Amino acid sequence: MERITTIAALRAELDKVRQAGKTVGLVPTMGALHEGHASLVRRSVQENDVTVVSIFLNPTQFNDKTDLAKYPRTLEADCALLEACGATLAFAPSVEEIYPEPDTRQFSYPPTDSVMEGAFRPGHFNGVCQIVSKLFMMVEPDRAYFGEKDFQQIAVIRRMVADLGFKLQIVPCPVIREEGGLAKSSRNTLLTADERQTANHIYQTLRQSRDWVGQMSVQEVHDKVVSDINAVPGLEVQYYSIVDGQTLADVRSWDESSDIVGCITVFCGSQPIRLIDHIRYKG
């Protein structure tokens, strides 16, 4: 696997790849890689001749700068994992390389980017669209792989791809979970062993809530999920939204859509660490 830090070197490598008629898969990451990322990379390696993995902790998507400062940075271990997964190129540029000038572009895809994470982290999805659109322009992949853990992010990126006319396929990949159910996330390394156990209650409650759908209204399921999770010491729900899986608009009845997903964000522990997850009720 080759490590590249400049856009010029990336383009030079990819020109050769294109001239040889090879296909390119892109896995965008912010580093601190885990089994969830590895599953995306392995899938890309299976489906493309060349797999580019970007490792770039994108400052423009952090509205909370202490969150950015806390984010784990593990470049050497990341590269070892990518090598083991069969990635071809690791692209790990500096902030100056990606943003030689401040990026003033504004993206707006309501309601996908204005609800839930968009409401609680203003500017977050604008930053995601800035970096992902730059990566798509630099790499020009045939396919780009994203984890379904960030369910809302995929909906926003789909809108951006349609809006800007990128010629590529978005490949959503299933959530990878710890044994107890906690969705794998780079932020999990910031939890203590006890907090990880506590955090397992989030997905356990979401799974249970699927059984309530036949007997309860959308509002009742919503309220019970929130109260059951809040009853666990060390957990505090920031929001729980039951939405249409495509538009992310709130649904009020189970008949309103054929694709219904519950999306949650929970604070865990004393620091606290913000964890997101989701459950599909229909579709």
Chain residues that interact with ligand PAF, rule: CB under 6 A: 28-30, 58, 61, 128, 131-132, 150, 153
Q: Are 279 and 209 in contact (CB under 8 A)?
A: yes
Nearer to ligand PAF, 161 or 218 (CB): 161
**Catalytic, out of 34, 37, 201, 278:** 37
Instruction: Enter the DSSP assignment of 245.
Output: T
Q: How far apart are CA 175 and CA 182, in angstroms?
A: 10
| Min dist. Cβ of residue 107 to ligand PAF (A) | 13
| Min dist. Cβ of residue 61 to ligand PAF (A) | 6
| Min dist. Cβ of residue 128 to ligand PAF (A) | 5
Bridge partners, 2 (sequence order): 89
Q: Are 27 and 136 in contact (CB under 8 A)?
A: no
Nearer to ligand PAF, 187 or 196 (CB): 187
Can 37 be counted among the known catalytic residues?
Answer: yes
Nearer to ligand PAF, 59 or 194 (CB): 59
Nearer to ligand PAF, 45 or 128 (CB): 128
Q: Is 123 helix (H, G, I), strand (E, B) or coil?
A: coil
| Min dist. Cβ of residue 221 to ligand PAF (A) | 28
- Phi and psi (nearest 5°) for 141? -75, 160
Q: Are 183 and 175 in contact (CB under 8 A)?
A: yes
Q: How far apart are CA 121 and CA 201, in angstroms?
A: 24
Q: Alpha helices, DSSP H only, in 48-123?
A: 65-70, 75-85, 95-98, 117-120
Q: How far apart are CA 54 and CA 235, in angstroms?
A: 33
| Min dist. Cβ of residue 235 to ligand PAF (A) | 23
Instruction: Enter the DSSP assignment of 192.
Output: -
**What amino acid positions are annotated as catalytic residues?**
37
